[in-house]
Structure 1
């Protein structure tokens, strides 16, 4: 296996050596061997091996770990070729070659493992259409490796002396084997297991299995009465959808620390959503379905259970969102009384995601009316108040939440809270000179100028992204940035990642489509102007007290802005310099650009559209 000398880990070396020489091993036996070799205590080594994430180590069905290079050495797996596979040399790995995937990923000298979800660009470069590449994974041998082969031919993929090779084999040369008894013992009729784990266990239990070319694993599995779906294998007729759903619910339940009755309530809600979606049922039909599930659904009263129900329903299949709203609306009107606040919150979250913030707000208000301490609804209403520019109402709502004053939103609202004008009555003319009554002009609203509120507008968009599933995109970019710059604090990494998702990723425009009807009119106009400004590389050409003159390297235009701390003449940085009312400011941060990387960053920023991933990478490389 290839190793990285800069990240040499002597315990890892010892662990892999022990596993290769004595494996397969239980965690306890593996830890004992490490301790005997002078590496820490039993407790320390047990924790080490149980947390070990190493591609060259496989987990068997019986819970033991195995060294894949040792287990797979001398094995042969066969596969029947398709025309696209012959043309490109990219062979579908599931199910026939699935046992080899981790081995290939662990050593860069072996055929590359490609995945549809992660390697779309490289797959497209091979000239494969979407329907020609499997949904899961494949091994890239290259077209030359299959020279002389044709569609329908059988190839043998062999592991010999640590190398993986491929070559044509005749059907007449195949041996026969029956996996029925072994699969019955490992899986049974009412269970599904990971395909790789099962095959590794089969190979462990029978050292002679796949040492000579046999029929493809997929065919052997089907002959035994089992089927494969993705990276799972189960008896024919098994309900994979129900299995995946149950696993998802169990995972969410563990994370949320739900009680069994709450888990059952989540499952009941999700099943109702699926039925309404699949059968295209209306509200009246959904109400009838509730009649037999009332007792189960009552446990949704806890916010954690309601959040889990939304997570599973929405995350399991996004197109089910209208059905989530229908079921939640029916539950709010006709479900168990104790679960109605949760139901209104669920309906509000679904309505918001569907783009109707007015209906969403009505449901959140109804949830709070039923339970004035229902935290999730209070927080959503506080965000809506912030979007409207009503800082005082937002603060009042957060004040009703335990720990609400520690929220980022609270600090933002405190900054823009309106000054009190006790000298004015509600019907007096407003202090600002507009001529309107105080109650309809500035009562409860921020006194800040648009230049000041520009930062509030940015925070509104930032909080919107952070409070939705869209934040996953930010986390992915933050992880990418941290990969290149391990010394970057997470908050700094998230700042660039979030700004890239907002603008290059199109989420700021999405924020406007979802929240525009709540924003003050001047902020909507300002936001539209921001969308017309592209990020660029700027050079500091003059520094004068609290301001600097910047020159856009691409256009040559100069502009004066408030100075970020520490800038000196000649500095280069990437930023969006945007109008904020009567001034121009840098909103979203400024990233330093080394002079020797200026052209590379400019090249990324000159693409249309700019790729957020390429942007973050270009600004993160040391």
Structure 2
């Protein structure tokens, strides 16, 4: 992972020049110096300083900003090598070299690069590292040439000289190890945790002589000062990192949902109940007893925003949270204050749905709506379930009870497939379709659309499900991969709207498989059978061999098979496209968008699509290269 170098912006360059010369600076000081130098008005410079997002701007623990290259110039950090680091050329940056990572990222022309376990796992693995040797966070790739002649256990120094990040052996004796305990106490405090990079930069800003000669590694200094580290945070020994992270997460979610204090208390109480159920393996009866002991603390969950916040927090801090969430929510349904029962039913329903029991989920959503006729989240879930069943009239009726429901995407989908009115027919008359059955058992309340048309509804059902809170991260991640090729502030939103992103999330990302597993019981029988066929269809590279009147003949480059496909905008004969061609009943169609394929990338794409398991990110990245 790297930060791409952007074209120079004169006002940004001026702001960095001031920060390099006069920093570290508070926002007010920085603004005043820019205004005094004639770079703009106070309002304009205040906005620049507050919004400037530049890889060389370091934000210190005391709230000031510093120029990272100036702050780190002349500093030296040490690290003791492991065997895997010597053989791979990749050095774990945390904690010893953590202050240098953003400086390395700021210039991707440097010989040394920053890699991250979450983003660069494939590249790290290609270096020959076993899973247990993967760095947990960030690492600096110097290469095997830079580490030639070093052995396991050797102490190396990494210094910043003239803007370069240089690795060299430690010659001679180390400088006396500084005692950082008092400095950590001052900057972090005994009852707090802070980001390691931010704290280290603060110490450098406060002491121009710190880390100017090789001394003990930063990790050893942290330990000897009586401090612990968890990930990229440090705190005094014995600090409860889990509680700190939870409190931080709750505070963030509370801001996002605009909660007031008693709602925050309700969220915290519910999250603690979920944690107790999970850690102590409590059953529903035991969880009920916990609620009985202090039911009033859950009162703040009454509002839908507070319930949504509770779900967000639990989802963010627990890996396998749904069973415990379900048990805790059931306990609050039974023993919590009456005013929060709608929220508790909704939480129970969300958990039941994720656990694969959508019919149980529906019962809870119905109970929530019965207790509060305007409880929007439950109404929306019920409308989506009605849509999955193919019951457009019920879905539209439910959305009509929501303020602004007609603006929901689901509303447009349901309107498109709502059944036509047939006032000339009674319930017991023969159906208009010619089936010979009574209207009430054949098409009353059901869409008149053919399966070929309803295939688009099926696709929309899966798309809406993939946009649910618990699944959205995969779709967003693929949109971000696509957006890397575009240089504008709306890139991610535009990428999210592109058919490729959602289709890859559904099929290579296996969200459609999850949709069928969880919601298949609701689908009309012919749509469920069609969904099964879609799961067997593979994306491929196709050549357009003929085309006329909205129908093209495609030849699968991998298999040689040909198919006549209905398509809105036919590519030119001879063009190469990447698409998933699927049956929709009586026709073959492309529902997930068409991607043009440059001839020179054909073989590479065919090889990628031939793998048994295609990585979604790799596919989106390759198909997005045409925008570079």
Shorter-normalised TM-score: what interval?
Answer: over 0.9
Show the 5 A alignment for 1:171-570: 172-486=173-487, 490=494, 493-565=497-569, 567-570=571-574
Structure-2 separation of matches of 1:507 and 1:75: 48
Structure-2 separation of matches of 1:199 and 1:355: 47
**Structure-1-length-normalised TM-score:** 0.95
Match of 1:592 among 596, 612, 615: 596
1: CA distance between counterparts of 2:582 and 2:389?
22
CA distance in 2, matches of 1:505, 1:518: 22
TM-score by length of 2: 0.94
CA distance in 2 between partners of 1:554 and 1:24 (Å): 59
Relative to structure 1, the CA distance from residue 597 to residue 93 in structure 2 (aligned partners, 3 Å threshold; closer, same or farther) is closer
Per mean C-alpha deviation after superposition, the further-off stretch among 376-385 and 80-89 is 80-89
Please give the secondary structure, in 1, of the residue aligned with 2:387.
helix
CA distance in 1, matches of 2:97, 2:571: 56
CA distance in 1, matches of 2:487, 2:554: 30
Offset of 1:577 from its aligned partner?
A: 1.7
Bigger mean CA deviation after superposition, 498-507 or 159-168: 159-168
1:609 aligns with 2:613: yes
The Cα shift of 1:4 comes to 7.7
Query: 1:303·1:376 contact (CA, 8 Å) conserved in 2?
Result: yes
Deviates more, 1:560-569 or 1:342-351: 560-569
Q: Flag the 1:251–1:88 CA change in 2: closer, same or farther, 3 A.
A: same
Which has the higher mean CA deviation after the structures are superposed, 512-521 or 549-558? 549-558
> Aligned equivalents of 2:484 and 2:174: distance in 1?
48
SS in 2 for 1:38: coil
**3-state SS, counterpart of residue 147 of structure 1:** coil
Structure 1: gaps (5+ residues): none
Question: Are the aligned partners of 1:154 and 1:171 in contact in 2 as well (CA < 8 Å)?
Answer: no
With over 3 angstroms needed to count, the CA separation of the structure-2 counterparts of 1:265 and 1:4, relative to structure 1, is: closer
* Offset, 1:598: 3.5
**Per-residue deviation, residues 15-61 of structure 1 (Å, max 9, x unmatched):** 11111111111112212222233322111111112222212221111
Number of aligned residue pairs: 621
Q: CA deviation at 1:110?
A: 4.7
**Alignment partners' CA distance in 2, 1:437 and 1:218:** 78
Q: Is the 8 A contact 2:4 2:107 kept in 1?
A: no
Structure 1 residues 191 and 451: alpha-carbon distance in aligned structure 2, compared to 1, 3 A threshold: same
**Which deviates more from structure 2 when the two are superposed, residues 317-326 or residues 278-287?**
317-326
Cα gap change, 1:546/1:107 in structure 2, threshold over 3 Å: closer, same or farther?
closer
Choose 536-545 or 339-348, whichever is displaced more.
536-545
Checking the alignment, whether the CA contact within 8 Å between 2:76 and 2:212 is kept in structure 1 is: yes
Secondary structure of the equivalent of 2:214?
A: coil
* Conservation of the 8 A alpha-carbon contact between 2:550 and 2:570: no
| Structure 2 CA distance for partners of 1:86 and 1:534, relative to 1, 3 Å | same
Q: Distance in 1 between matches of 2:324 and 2:181?
A: 41
Deviation at 1:441, TM superposition (A): 3.1
For residues 173 and 548 of structure 1, what CA distance do their matches in structure 2 show? 73
Aligned to 2:12: 12
C-alpha distance in 1 between matches for 2:197 and 2:78: 15
Give the direction of change, closer, same or farther, for the CA distance of 1:595–1:96 in structure 2 (3 Å limit).
Answer: closer
Cα distance in 2 for residues equivalent to 1:163 and 1:537: 45
CA RMSD of aligned residues (A): 2.1
